[in-house]
């Protein structure tokens, strides 16, 4: 089971997450949508502990941290590490290591963090590059790749850690439309392979296609969640308006 309960997060005086509770079903795709600034990215960053919630619970398949209650959990503690190891994140702007080759980017985590045998890590990285259609870019530098290629490397890098939960934060919003397609194709395949996925996207047609569950965020709260047709049944003007605007 994967879930967060009653997550609050404040930046300065800005109460960004106002008690967010979300179940993330294993082997399903959960799509987060909602207006800019509503807290979607902050929630993803709280799930993988890139941000620490002020209060609430993060539970990922047996690993759990409770925040607040006067007792700050240690960020680098064993439970935090266990939680972080379960997630892989793909960012809007790729965030590849610029001084490492494509292969170097992918094997960094397995070798340095998981202490995997280097040859084994290289073999797995090569298989992942094949999967994202970039076998020929193994020794290239990130700066020599297109945005779409960089993002595909970033996906391979996330997969190399064998995360239980894959988090995507607007993975195609920095890409030109023609490069978007190649990245969406790979994410679509991961959804079909029944990975456990949470994705923030403004690509409404793609969202509708892959979403097992749609979660609509507004002003730091989940306004509605459920199957696509249920959330988008026209009964909440805010949601209908937002979805129509993006079409
Ligand atoms: N590290 C931070 N420090 C201060 N404020 C932050 C930080 N991260 C996010 N915020 C603020 O929190 C609010 C929610 O931001 P967040 O990035 O989670 O929204 P979002 O729903 O992902 O928006 P978008 O669709 O534009 O990506 C915004 O007001 C933002 O300015
Ligand atoms: Mg965001």
Q: How far is the CA of 34 from the centre of ligand 1 (A)?
A: 12
* Residue 38 CB–ligand 1 contact under 6 Å: yes
**Fold of the domain built from segment(s) 1-86+199-247:** Rossmann fold (3.40.50)
Mean pLDDT over 70-98 rounds to 84
Q: Which pLDDT does position 243 carry in this prediction?
A: 87
Structure confidence by residue, pLDDT tens digits, 156-174? 999 999 999 999 999 999 9
Supply the residue whose CA is at minimum distance from atom 31 of ligand 1. Answer: 37
* Residue 41 CB–ligand 1 contact under 6 Å: yes
Q: How far is the CA of 115 from the centre of ligand 2 (A)?
A: 32
Q: How far is the CA of 43 from the centre of ligand 1 (A)?
A: 10
Mean pLDDT over 143-153 rounds to 97
Q: In a 3-state reduction of DSSP, which class is residue 123?
A: helix
* Residue 14 CB–ligand 1 contact under 6 Å: yes
Task: Tell me: pLDDT of 50 over 70.
Answer: yes
Domain positions in the chain are 1-86+199-247
* Residue 37 CB–ligand 1 contact under 6 Å: yes
Supply the residue whose CA is at minimum distance from atom 27 of ligand 1. Answer: 36
Q: Which pLDDT does position 71 carry in this prediction?
A: 57
Sheet with 196-200, side-by-side order of all strands: 87-90, 165-169, 196-200, 29-33, 213-218, 221-226
Task: Tell me: pLDDT of 75 over 90.
Answer: no
**What share of the chain has pLDDT > 90, as a percent?**
89
Q: Which pLDDT band holds residue 247 (cuts at 50, 70, 90)?
A: confident
Mean pLDDT over 110-119 rounds to 95
With the most atoms of ligand 1 within 8 angstroms of its CB, the residue from 33, 41, 53 to mutate is 41
Q: How far is the CA of 177 from the centre of ligand 2 (A)?
A: 19
Task: Tell me: pLDDT of 108 over 90.
Answer: yes
Supply the residue whose CA is at minimum distance from atom 1 of ligand 1. Answer: 11
Q: Which pLDDT band holds residue 76 (cuts at 50, 70, 90)?
A: low
Cα gap 3→58, rounded to integer Å:
6
Tell me the average pLDDT of the chain: 94
What is the pTM for the complete model shown?
0.95
User: Which residues contact residue 87 at a Cβ distance below 8 angstroms, ignoring those fewer than 6 apart?
Assistant: 47, 48, 60, 163, 164, 165, 166, 167
Task: Tell me: pLDDT of 74 over 80.
Answer: no
> How far lies 170's CA from each of 120, 140, 234, in Å?
31, 25, 25
Mean pLDDT over 168-194 rounds to 95
Task: Tell me: pLDDT of 244 over 90.
Answer: no
Burial call 43-78: b when 16+ CB within 10 Å, e when fewer = bbbbbbbebebbbbbbbbbebebebeeeeebeeeee
């Amino acid at each position: 089971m994967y879930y967060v309960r009653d997550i609050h997060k404040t930046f300065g005086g800005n109460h960004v997450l106002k008690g967010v509770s979300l179940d993330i079903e294993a082997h399903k795709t959960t799509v987060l949508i909602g207006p800019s600034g509503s807290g979607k990215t902050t929630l993803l960053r709280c799930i993988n502990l890139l941000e620490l919630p002020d209060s609430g619970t993060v539970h990922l398949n047996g690993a759990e941290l409770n925040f607040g209650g006067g007792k700050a959990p240690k960020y680098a503690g064993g439970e935090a590490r266990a939680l972080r190891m379960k997630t892989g994140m793909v960012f809007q702007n790729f965030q590849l290591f610029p001084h490492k080759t494509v292969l170097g980017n992918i094997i960094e985590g397995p070798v340095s963090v998981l202490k995997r045998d280097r040859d084994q890590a290289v073999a797995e990285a090569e298989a992942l590059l094949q999967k994202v259609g970039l076998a020929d870019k193994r020794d290239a530098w990130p700066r020599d790749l297109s945005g779409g290629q960089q993002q595909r490397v970033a996906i391979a890098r996330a997969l190399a850690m064998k995360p239980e939960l894959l988090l995507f934060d607007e993975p195609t919003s920095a890409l030109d439309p023609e490069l978007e397609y190649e990245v969406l194709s790979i994410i679509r395949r991961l959804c079909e392979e029944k990975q456990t996925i949470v994705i923030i996207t403004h690509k409404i047609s793609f969202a509708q296609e892959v979403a097992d569950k749609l979660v609509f965020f507004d002003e730091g709260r989940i306004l509605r969640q459920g199957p696509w047709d249920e959330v988008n049944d026209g009964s909440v003007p805010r949601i209908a308006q937002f979805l129509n605007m993006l079409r």
